[in-house]
Amino acid sequence: MPLTEEEKWNAVVQCNNDYDGVFFYGVKTTGIFCKPSCKSKEPKRSNIEFFDNIEDAYAYGLRPCKRCRPDLLDFNPIEDFIKKAKDIFDTYYDNYENLKLELSKLGVSQNHLIQLFHKKYKITPVKYLNQLRIEKALKLLATTDKTIMNIALLCGFQSLSNFYDSFKKQTGMTPKEYRESTKKHF
């Protein structure tokens, strides 16, 4: 059974995401169409037009809302932001200056980034970065003759003591012990 205009209006007033994709609403005075869950200011009922699909909204001469992005199947700015932050960590974990520069471009506070990242991945950014750095260190220790100090710096650690602490916490041994254990296997 199709929804009544009153049911659609109630969904809009309540910002009910259960109706996203079921119908769209346009605001004649702004020339914008939205999903029922849009958090924009509630429009006047007399300025609303309902549409069963996006094509009808476009045909009416409306453009998609920049806030709720009804033209995208899946619009989740927080998820996109966290993925972008993770990509930055994955790319620049071994280069502190570039890491700092790229993170500053995200435009959020360090505390907010930590909260969002931890909520998504159940790990803090610092622990995640240290995991990436230790993974690289394990490879370098096993496959090169570079000094431990050089490896620490190549992996993005700012000090040798921080490298040793992180390495021991994650592997249960020192970098030297790990290197020696890998040499015995060959």
Q: Are 27 and 43 in contact (CB under 8 A)?
A: yes
Q: Cα–Cα distance between 14 and 10 in angstroms, integer?
A: 6
Strand ranges for the chain from DSSP E: 24-27, 32-34, 48-51, 63-64
Is 65 in the active site?
no
Q: How many helices (H) and strands (E) does the chain have?
A: 9, 4
Q: Are 157 and 132 in contact (CB under 8 A)?
A: no
Half-sphere exposure of 160 (CA within 13 A, CB side): 7
Two tokens at 88? 């930055």
Could you tell me which of 174, 172, 148 has the C-alpha nearest to residue 160? 148
Q: Cα–Cα distance between 156 and 153 in angstroms, integer?
A: 5
Rounded to the nearest angstrom, the gap between the alpha carbon of residue 153 and the centroid of all alpha carbons in its chain is 27
Residue tagged active-site, from 34, 38, 65, 155: 34
Amino acid residing at 62: L
User: Catalytic residues, which ones?
Assistant: 34
